[in-house]
Structure 1
Amino acid sequence: METVARGKIFVGLAGWAVFAIQPVQADDQLFIHQKQQQQALEQRLEAKAPTVRLKRPDALLPDYPDNEHPCFTINALRLEGDTAGRFQWALESAEGAKGRCLGRQGILLAINKVQNAILAKGYVTTRVMAQEQDLTQGVLTLTLHPGRIANIHFDEPASWRGRLWNAMPAASGDILNLRDIEQALENFKRVPSAEADIKIVPSQQEATSDLLVSWKESRLPVRLSLSLDDSGAKSTGRYLGSATLAIDAPFAQNDLFYANIGKDFFEHGPFGNRSRTINYFFPLGYWAFSANHNDYTYHQNIAEVSQVLTYRGKSENTQFTVSRLLFRNQSHKTTLNMRVFRRHSTNAVNGIEMKQQRRRTAGWELGLSQRSYLGNVTLDANTNWRRGTGAFGALRAPEEAYHEGSARTGIALGDVSLNIPFAWGKQPWRYYTSVRWQWSPHPLTPQDRMSIAGRYTVRGFDGEQMLSGEKGLLWRNELAWNVLSRGHELYWATDYGRVDGQGARHLAGHQLAGSALGIRGMLWGRFHYDLFAGVPLYKPKGFHTPGVSSGFSVNLEI
């Protein structure tokens, strides 16, 4: 009986072997569609630390004075004292003193230049002085007095949920640096219900300071939000609703947890879908650890001549991420990201699994993230290298039998974005542009290819049909007006995308361009909305999409 049933199923699908080597399978496109939705969800929900930049006024120092009397010719500068070896770079700021005949004002200026260089690096309690010395030898010797941390404690009894040990990267005895304080504040404030501040006060010991931490919870540490949008695929349910439960500091360690469930809404047809996501985040000074798991299932009925076939698909994704802040100053932050992942997907017809379509992949990803503040412009950039492996019981991809793709090859990915606020007509405006790219020298499985078309890539398309390839470029642009400074943005978007590679050779074309007009904002401090309508500007012949594609998303925080 099972043999007969399988035979009917395969005939109904026009032969699984033929189906398996098509450029983009229907189930693959649904999983790709869901992957884009999942990325958008994680971008909205995952822990994002508010940027803390402790500024100090820039001191503009004059040039060295001429014709001082008496004066001494300075040929070399030295920096001595406790841990002076760590600060030799600061002498470069006083290079202009070499070869000059300096008097009292010139020597004081050289000291101030070295002092300011150290202050600019965040060492705000470290001091540079000049002891009495013989300058007739042409050597100016400066003495470093490092300012250290004596104690770190709360300024008043804090809730048992407040924790210092994993938020503050510095410890007693360390040289005080503003960058450590900034990082601690970001670790505290990443928790939405927490408010924190840190003060530097003199300690009882000479050349030391205490850090007094003010910490409190401003609201309940549990939040519930409900969302609804029309980003789903027509074949499995266009309207998607979800509920998210977020818990701040569930283990009282400045950590974060959220769980999300979603499903199709309103439409009662022979189809449906469901998704679930859980995420946990834990900071540790300049380190951060996170774990994420999500799964997605869908079903749809396919009517054949003699029977109705129920087609089901399921995917599971698990990943662990470790991040380490490598560098930060007042304007730049560089972070190293390391990730391991495992993905599993299956398909079944009338309850019988299509084993030839089973996928189980695993791998790792290594990347760098950069955030820079260039005046009032914010730049974000990421570059990553992803590699599939045979770990965690990974299977060879079905496409490998036909040399159509592999899940165990390298993929280079990257993106860069600029957010540029400006004023025009005494109104606040913003221009946002981003470029995302992907490159691989080898054929990839459909899930690993770059796909374009739809609200998450090239707007103006409904996303029911996509272009995908191993290599791709996506350029998104927005010009937004904060209407009368009321928190509602009217925006105009124009996007362009292109894909290439072996997986794109059977496509009708390789490029898409589209535009959209929309409005988004917040009402009553809890209700977020985004409404838009777009049109395709360019699409290849034979690429099907409506003349106008509209959409919405709403989110209510309870």
Structure 2
Amino acid sequence: MGSQGINVLLRRIQNRLIEYGYVTTRVVVEPQDLRSGMLVLTVIPGKVGRIQLQDQSALPFATRGTLWFAMPLREGELLNLRDIEQGLENLKRVPSAEADFQLVPSENVGETDIVVGYKQRFPFHITLGLDDSGSKATGRLQGSATFSWDNVLTLNDMFYISGTRSFKRHSDKAEGDYGSQNISLYYSIPWKNYQLSLSGSRYRYHQTVAGAFESYTYSGESRQMKANLSRLLWRDSRSKTYLNAALWARQSQNYINDTEIEVQRRRTAGWEAGLSHTHYIYDGVLQLSALYKRGTGGHRALRAPEEEFDEGTSRMQIITANIDFSYPFSLFNQPLRFNTEWSAQWNRTPLVQQDKLSIGGRYTVRGFDGELTLSGERGWVWRNELAWNVGNWGQELYMAVDTGRVRSSQEELQVGNSLTGGAIGLRGNLWGLNYDYFVGVPLKKPEGFRTSNVVTGFNLSYRF
């Protein structure tokens, strides 16, 4: 091997090291006698020197913990660009924060200092929202208010509390008193390659049901709690993979005139485990996930009444999968974006209604009003969307076609098992107001499936 071949070999090894993130590690050939037929390459490891944080905020928010919780690497360790990228992602996950970094020579030989530039804006925000995603029975018009707090403990953590309630309007065509309220809490904190999130919610509703001689008030309440821990398993320049594990619990009760319907009482708990993967393909983003969900006897779980007839269980076993691909492109110098998402569910046990997959509505198969849905223990939903950024002004005109199919052990009780719908809409931001308005129609539905011939919907939100 001549000098030219050695240089080619060194270049390939160096490029491979850079590909794996070791951008300050070097491979050299020290003076040696090649007549023995052996070539010795020397690896000079590039290590981390000092890690410094420069807080450029108008009011300093960062502390030593801000950087320590974010960065998965320490002084004296091998410098890997992927670890720095993960640290920056932890710093920038707070919506009001920005961060970048510089590699500068260190005072110590073989080391490189990392200087992180950090800037955070005002950490408190209030978001007001209005949409018509509710049901006619409890009120289609929904108003919401959310308070969010960024960097609560100066550890790149986030907290928000959100409340939603329905408003009455004449078009609901519901008799008597009715309404719904929901409150939810969320907190998350990263620690190097880990992230912990805690969430909880409480939902209440009531509606008037007309009887033969008098009207009845039908009401209910449900609560959910979840703790999720994720860990980064792999990261390179084009992809990253996470392992996720969670504990969850939920319970619900329903009442008629303040008397509980005991057969409808539910109390369930369990765990989840899964993988999620993100891959960048040119300008596109591919996201994959798979999850296994298992119910247990924890949290004083109650047996489901359906277990007597083998029609459901509180010890459910469910597998879900999701594939999402988004790709921006241009046609005739016009910016377009295509998005396709496929999600599926499989069951290994009979499922109660709360665990079944339901289709028909703005969040599953668009073009349907959501008042009546198809549900099954297993099935899939495929959502497709083509969006045009009108004039590069941040306003998107989009067209969507969705389809879904469900299967169940009691299919003879349903009018059908598949739906297809379409929608066109406009969304964007005007003077700080986020908006989305769409018109949808059912394209294919079973005979006897009742839904509106034309569906309209909107969503408005403003953040202070």
Sort the TM-score into its range (normalised by shorter chain). over 0.9
- Tell me if the contact between 1:237 and 1:271 (Cα under 8 Å) persists in the aligned partners: yes
- How do 1:230-245 and structure 2 match up within 5 A? 230-245=132-147
Match for residue 80 of structure 2 among 168, 177, 181? 177
SS in 2 for 1:393: coil
SS in 1 for 2:83: helix
2:250 corresponds to 1:347? no
How far off is 1:249 after superposition? Answer: 0.8
How far off is 1:407 after superposition? Answer: 2.5
SS in 2 for 1:312: strand
SS in 2 for 1:166: helix
Aligned CA RMSD, in angstroms, stands at: 1.2
Match for residue 62 of structure 2 among 161, 185, 199? 161
How far off is 1:335 after superposition? Answer: 0.5
The percentage of counterpart residues that share the same residue type is 45
2:157 corresponds to 1:255? yes
2:103 corresponds to 1:200? yes
Look up the equivalent residue of 1:547 and give its one-letter code.
N
In structure 1, distance between residues paired with 2:153 and 2:409: 48
Look up the equivalent residue of 1:403 and give its one-letter code.
D
In structure 2, distance between residues paired with 1:518 and 1:230: 15
2:463 corresponds to 1:539? no
Name the structure with the higher strand share: 2
2:128 corresponds to 1:226? yes
- How do 1:14-33 and structure 2 match up within 5 A? none
- Tell me if the contact between 1:200 and 1:210 (Cα under 8 Å) persists in the aligned partners: yes
SS in 2 for 1:322: strand
SS in 2 for 1:188: helix
- Tell me if the contact between 2:55 and 2:119 (Cα under 8 Å) persists in the aligned partners: no
TM-score by length of 1: 0.80
Look up the equivalent residue of 1:103 and give its one-letter code.
G
- How do 1:71-110 and structure 2 match up within 5 A? 102-110=1-9
Deviations 1:321-359 (A, max 9, x none): 000010000000100110110000000111111111100
SS in 2 for 1:165: helix
In structure 2, distance between residues paired with 1:350 and 1:156: 58
- Tell me if the contact between 2:301 and 2:314 (Cα under 8 Å) persists in the aligned partners: no
2:119 corresponds to 1:216? yes
Which piece of structure 1 moves more, 148-157 or 445-454? Answer: 148-157
Look up the equivalent residue of 1:538 and give its one-letter code.
K
In structure 2, distance between residues paired with 1:517 and 1:216: 39
How far off is 1:537 after superposition? Answer: 0.6
How far off is 1:156 after superposition? Answer: 6.1
2:20 corresponds to 1:121? yes
- How do 1:23-422 and structure 2 match up within 5 A? 102-155=1-54, 159-162=60-63, 163-217=66-120, 219-267=121-169, 269-422=176-329
The aligned counterpart of 1:516 is 423
In structure 2, distance between residues paired with 1:209 and 1:120: 18
Name the structure with the higher helix share: 1
- Tell me if the contact between 1:444 and 1:503 (Cα under 8 Å) persists in the aligned partners: no
Deviations 1:288-340 (A, max 9, x none): 00000001000011121222211111100000000001000000010011011
Is there any run of 5+ residues in structure 2 with no aligned partner, and where?
171-175
Deviations 1:380-406 (A, max 9, x none): 111001111111111111211221111
- Tell me if the contact between 1:407 and 1:448 (Cα under 8 Å) persists in the aligned partners: no
How far off is 1:215 after superposition? Answer: 1.2
- Tell me if the contact between 2:209 and 2:216 (Cα under 8 Å) persists in the aligned partners: yes
- Tell me if the contact between 2:188 and 2:195 (Cα under 8 Å) persists in the aligned partners: yes
In structure 1, distance between residues paired with 2:55 and 2:130: 43
- Tell me if the contact between 2:358 and 2:374 (Cα under 8 Å) persists in the aligned partners: yes
Match for residue 452 of structure 1 among 359, 363, 369? 359
In structure 1, distance between residues paired with 2:114 and 2:143: 46
Match for residue 378 of structure 2 among 438, 454, 471? 471
In structure 2, distance between residues paired with 1:190 and 1:552: 28
Specify the structure having the higher radius of gyration (Cα).
1
Deviations 1:409-433 (A, max 9, x none): 2111011011011101100001110
Q: Flag as ranges the 4+ runs of structure 1 deviating above 6 A.
A: none
SS in 2 for 1:139: coil
Look up the equivalent residue of 2:158 and give its one-letter code.
L
- Tell me if the contact between 1:468 and 1:503 (Cα under 8 Å) persists in the aligned partners: no
SS in 2 for 1:107: helix
Look up the equivalent residue of 1:205 and give its one-letter code.
N
How far off is 1:160 after superposition? Answer: 4.6
- Residues 1:449 and 1:127: Cα distance change in structure 2 (over 3 Å): same
Which piece of structure 1 moves more, 450-459 or 155-164? Answer: 155-164
In structure 1, distance between residues paired with 2:55 and 2:341: 45
The aligned counterpart of 2:463 is 557
How far off is 1:134 after superposition? Answer: 2.5
How far off is 1:503 after superposition? Answer: 4.5
In structure 1, distance between residues paired with 2:98 and 2:440: 40
How far off is 1:165 after superposition? Answer: 0.9
In structure 1, distance between residues paired with 2:139 and 2:168: 9
Is there any run of 5+ residues in structure 1 with no aligned partner, and where?
1-101
In structure 2, distance between residues paired with 1:535 and 1:160: 50
